[in-house]
Amino acid sequence: MILDGHIHIDSGPEERGDFARQLREAGVDGGILLSPAPACFAGAIHTASPQERLEKVLFWCEAGPNLYPFYWIDPTETDALKQVDLAVSKGIAGFKVICSTHDPGDPRALRTYQAIAEAGRPILFHSGILWDGKPSSPHNRPANFEALLDVKGLRFALAHISWPWTDECIAVYGKFQAALHQRDDLGVEMFIDTTPGTPPIYRRDALTRLFTVGYDVSCNVFFGSDNHANDYNAAYVHEWIERDRAILAEIGVEEATVANVFGENLKRFVNAS
């Protein structure tokens, strides 16, 4: 099974049949679909209401099995807790956050993350350089996410291996792994989403470091493509899958771990059976 942990929804054609066909062509069996963006990212003019954004992602998830709807939330909005409740009541499997205007440890955001953790849902964060045309990348450096150590029971992933701060991302992962034992009452677990991010010339280096650093990453790394449901590019996704498979084979990653990276780890992240 191959799952794509990072599929956006853009404006444009809404042909679920085409999307399902493209997934099949790429050899992908499902994945995480991210709702349209909140105002802090999309700009107020282009932002739909929480209800509309939820409906949109749920609509796309009917394209096939193994599609998990994530609601993109601005955790600093005054009604963020209400949005969490609404999203959970509609069957949302997880949440997406891009820290474009706040730090991961913003107290308003931490309150929202705690509610998400209590609802048993994971959070997929953007991390690394952010191409939004604004001075926002400092919010997204991996070490800033240490603030999440205090969010009891949270399951979260940093996307893009935090490129270009991949070493920092791996080090932060090591810290969270250690904290699972040091502070086992908190149970905060970090995942890494390998969505590029990393341009091809950095890929081998980043994956080699991630899989040979010596930390136990076998159950906590998953693949993603950053494609759009509206124009899912099967050839592009297939190329990344093949590139990653070749690198993982070359550096001697066990078959069982490779299978985890392309499927099982994402299922564990979203708590799917």
Contact residues for Zn ion (CB under 5 A)? Answer: 226
Smallest separation, CB 57 to Zn ion (Å): 14
Closest CB to Zn ion among residues 37, 87: 37
DSSP tally for the chain: helices H, then strands E: 10, 9
Closest CB to Zn ion among residues 111, 228: 228
Closest CB to Zn ion among residues 74, 226: 226
Smallest separation, CB 139 to Zn ion (Å): 15
Closest CB to Zn ion among residues 41, 173: 41
Contact of 215 with 255, CB cutoff 8 Å: no
Hunting for tokens 């099995």 — which residue is that? Answer: 65
Smallest separation, CB 7 to Zn ion (Å): 9
Contact of 29 with 267, CB cutoff 8 Å: no
Contact of 243 with 214, CB cutoff 8 Å: no
Smallest separation, CB 6 to Zn ion (Å): 6
- Kindly state the greatest CA–CA separation across the chain: 49
Closest CB to Zn ion among residues 132, 242: 132
What's the helix, strand, coil split of the chain in %, to 5? Answer: 50, 15, 40
Instruction: Report the alpha-carbon distance of residue 191 to residue 261 in Å, rounded.
Output: 11
Closest CB to Zn ion among residues 168, 226: 226
Helix (H, G, I), strand (E, B) or coil at 93: coil
Closest CB to Zn ion among residues 9, 149: 9
φ/ψ of residue 229, rounded to 5: -60, -35
Which residues are paired to 157 by β-bridges?
124, 191
Show the 3-state SS of 224-256. Answer: CCCEECCCCCHHHHHHHHHHHHHHHHHCCCCHH
Smallest separation, CB 150 to Zn ion (Å): 26
Smallest separation, CB 226 to Zn ion (Å): 5
Smallest separation, CB 8 to Zn ion (Å): 6
Helix (H, G, I), strand (E, B) or coil at 5: strand
